[in-house]
Structure 1
Amino acid sequence: MAISGKAGVMSQLKEIQEAIVSGDLGAIASIEVPQSYRGMTVHADEVAMFDGLSSRDKDPRRSLHLDEVPTPELGPGEALVAVMASAINYNTVWTSIFEPLPTFKFLRRYGKLSPLAKRHDLPYHVVGSDAAGVVLRTGPGVHSWKPGDEVVAHCLNVELEAPDGHNDTMLDTEQRIWGFETNFGGLAEIALVKANQLMPKPAHLTWEEAACPGLVNSTAYRQLVSRNGADMKQGDIVLIWGASGGLGSYATQYALNGGAIPVCVVSSPRKAELCRKLGAELVIDRSAETGEGYRFWSGEHTQDPGEWQRFGAKIRELTGGEDPDIVFEHPGRETFGASVYAARRGGTIVTCASTSGYLHQFDNRYLWMNLKRIIGSHFANYRESWEANRLIAKGLIHPTLSRIYPLEETGQAALDVHHNRHQGKVGVLCLAPEEGLGVRDERLRARHLDRINAFRGA
């Protein structure tokens, strides 16, 4: 995908980078937007490359490519952003291993919507659903943002032409996840977003710290705090699976900030320690080394209710005899039966993902006879994302960044997440030449530095 005038493109990107790093943001409007940029892509002609392999054996380092791609046309209500940093989410892992289906099917469907949407239907897909950077240009009709604004992007791409989304934009018939179901995502030097994806960058954070909360922080906010999710209240006991992970680490913080009582479920002593650093007191390490070693499945097709009961007894031992009011679910197949069993009578199981498998099995007697509820929760609307970002900006919720990779090593970063070798979030530097840049409020940062760095090196 070589683009002519490569030296000129590199010069323009360098000029943009230098203006941002020096803080000369007023110069951004006068710098010509490059005709191309580098982005992490998957290729449509490679979707069969992992056929016959198990999910775990599919290697994102083979499928993710650093390509030079044309800068997309800027449409009404859109913005081009110079991306200083991004982050890895499970949807990038899924994209890279072409599961549960190749994302090119999403791009083709989107491309049929309108001539402008046709831009997204390409033989390559620039991936990534997080970004922190600076606005380069805005399209017609954008009045809230201008070139030089420091921003983060949430990942809801929504058309809002149908009535369905005007109470909750997540219900819009043309709602998509940017960088997963659309093209021109954030694991790149430039990204294309809708202007209503933009939010102010938290001033006390570096570019890489600001990039990492977006998707997971907003998802956890809606799933746990919002009325569209579990509507958590003070005193609720909240069972949190994967409580030190990219999603669970934010759920743990929201439970603690909201006066709830988190019961954090993790899979190693190191992860248990991270939960305690966040302030959680009730932690279940379900790894075999601790002697707990919960095995909810006795075979490929058979769950073990005795293990559900043993798990429920452990929860009641920690809580003084109480069952969870809310179960924060995202592993899916492996844990869902236990989650339905463990929730209290009248309790809520709220689910936003299925990282261990989409086909859930549970004993419905525990659901219907005990009047429990299952709620599906998917990302967040703009208002929920804005509120979640505001809490980051005020230093009430903190990034859980553990490790950072250069853009060229995105494949390795995705492999680490795929194999669950990470804690919290894994960041990626895009245009930022090094870590530690972009802090504008040193005083606020100094007040929260220990919490900001809680996951670093984990």
Structure 2
Amino acid sequence: MQEILEAIRSADTTPAQFASIPVPEHYRGVTLHRDEAGMFEGQPSADKDPRRSLHLDEVPVPELGPGEALVAVMASAINYNTVWSSIFEPIPTFAFLSRYGRMSPLAKRHDLPYHVLGSDLSGVVLRTGAGVNNWKPGDQVVAHCLSVELESAEGHDDTMLDPEQRIWGFETNFGGLAELALVKTNQLMPKPAHLTWEEAASPGLVNSTAYRQLISANGAAMKQGDNVLIWGASGGLGSYAVQYALAGGATPVCVVSSPEKAALCEAMGAEAVIDRSAEDYRFWLDEHNQDPKEWKRLGARIRELTGGEDVDIVFEHPGRETFGASVFVAKRGGTIVTCASTSGYTHEYDNRYLWMNLKRIVGSHFANYKEAWAANRLIAKGRIHPTLSRSYKLEHAGQAAYDVHKNLHHGKVGVLCLSPEEGLGITDHELRAKHEAAINRFRANGTQDAAAVPAPALAGQSG
């Protein structure tokens, strides 16, 4: 691994030299263990601790198949699917690996007693499999997390509709929270040259998801002048939605949970911000009954901020806690676009406000390759910026997942994999200088670097 790292850090290493570096037989990866899938049974979700379930193991390097690449991972990031995986909800991810493993002998590689997690990466291509033409050893890349087979007709208009569509590092093995990762080469995109490894790794999943959900015709198809209600507007997903709304001439109405998070939205340029904690919104009277009066209070507050207008689009991802309010506050003919349910999957809303006011609910899941490429292009051009607030070392990935689970973070939480420290990997210093303040915006708001954060190391076991 040290030889690989030295080659990456040298500006003079050629593709042929990268191709000649021996690939080690084992690598370190953040894993779940199949025999521990029941460890949290009977506990409330909020009490399940990722630091107990995540391990740092030495695991064998997988066989490289056609159309695939082995990537040396410099950095990765935590997404909510890593949190779900770590607390074995809604089901243990080993069910996904078993299903995938039944598809073909090559897919059987993924069905193992351990699961290497992670759906983001930045790094360098080490090897490519048969039939790969667009990528070569030495290419600096980021990866999006859509894994598809494309053997069925359904996926050829929108690859997200492929019946064998999976999220890499969640529904497949060999993810990005590791020193090496196995990806399909149609997941690869060029690394933005003005960003560090950890900055470049952090946008992938959430940036692409926000792009499809809000901008794409497959999502809400936002247009200039729209009012957009964005839940969790300073978080990993919402912070990109805010940037897209502002860049696209829309008005984001940001909902956050603290003054610090409100300040982050304002720093991005948002003017309409609701601190739901300070204003004490309580959409549920109890476990079974919502409070429509609170929906109406939220709608009135939104109109105060927009000059009397309701929102054209609601950018939904909390799910159960907020969905009734989201359906209510959308304007007549408006759109509620949802990509997740972090507060619960069983949504309840008053359907009269949907059908009688001709509103639409649109489901949106990650992004196809074209959408992910477009989203990464905007990052590379400095039009949209990473929202990285903190990075942990690989052995502290459990603490990183815990932070996201407990909502202790702002923006995205990064993980250094092969990269020995933050700040490495920048090759376009001129472009970076133009956007330094925006790139560091989330770091500058009450967070610390990885070295300053005490965190328990993951347990290490052999794979």
Same-fold call, TM cutoff 0.5: yes
Contact 1:403 1:457 in 2 (8 A): no
Number of paired residues? Answer: 443
Q: Match for residue 428 of structure 1?
A: 415
Q: Match for residue 405 of structure 2?
A: 418
C-alpha deviation, 1:21, in angstroms: 1.4
Change (3 A) 1:25 1:382: farther
Say which of 385, 410, 435 aligns to 1:448: 435
> Deviations for 1:140-181, whole angstroms, at most 9, x for unmatched residues?
000000000000000000000000000000000000000000
C-alpha deviation, 1:23, in angstroms: 2.3
Residue type matched to 1:437 in 2? L
Q: In structure 1, what is the Cα distance between the partners aligned to 2:407 and 2:13?
A: 38
> Does 1:339 pair with 2:329?
no
Residue type matched to 2:238 in 1? G
Q: Give the alignment of 1:4-403 within 5 angstroms.
A: 13-26=1-14, 27-287=17-277, 290=278, 292-403=279-390
C-alpha deviation, 1:457, in angstroms: 4.7
Q: In structure 2, what is the Cα distance between the partners aligned to 1:455 and 1:28?
A: 35
SS of 2:126's equivalent in the other structure is strand
Contact 1:215 1:379 in 2 (8 A): yes
Q: In structure 2, what is the Cα distance between the partners aligned to 1:231 and 1:312?
A: 22
Q: Match for residue 453 of structure 2?
A: none
- TM-score scaled to structure 2, two decimals? 0.95
Residue type matched to 2:147 in 1? N
C-alpha deviation, 1:372, in angstroms: 0.1
- TM-score scaled to structure 1, two decimals? 0.96
Residue type matched to 1:119 in 2? R
Give the fraction of aligned pairs with identical amino acids, expressed as a percent: 78
SS of 1:56's equivalent in the other structure is helix
Q: In structure 2, what is the Cα distance between the partners aligned to 1:143 and 1:71?
A: 23
Q: In structure 2, what is the Cα distance between the partners aligned to 1:62 and 1:261?
A: 42
Q: In structure 2, what is the Cα distance between the partners aligned to 1:334 and 1:439?
A: 41
Q: In structure 1, what is the Cα distance between the partners aligned to 2:175 and 2:11?
A: 25
Q: In structure 2, what is the Cα distance between the partners aligned to 1:47 and 1:273?
A: 39
Q: In structure 2, what is the Cα distance between the partners aligned to 1:91 and 1:206?
A: 24
> Deviations for 1:214-272, whole angstroms, at most 9, x for unmatched residues?
00000000000000000000000000000000000000000000000100000000000
Residue type matched to 1:20 in 2? I
C-alpha deviation, 1:276, in angstroms: 0.5
Q: Which runs of 4+ in 1 moved over 6 A?
A: none
SS of 1:361's equivalent in the other structure is coil
Any gaps of 5 or more consecutive residues in structure 2?
Answer: 446-463
Contact 1:296 1:308 in 2 (8 A): yes
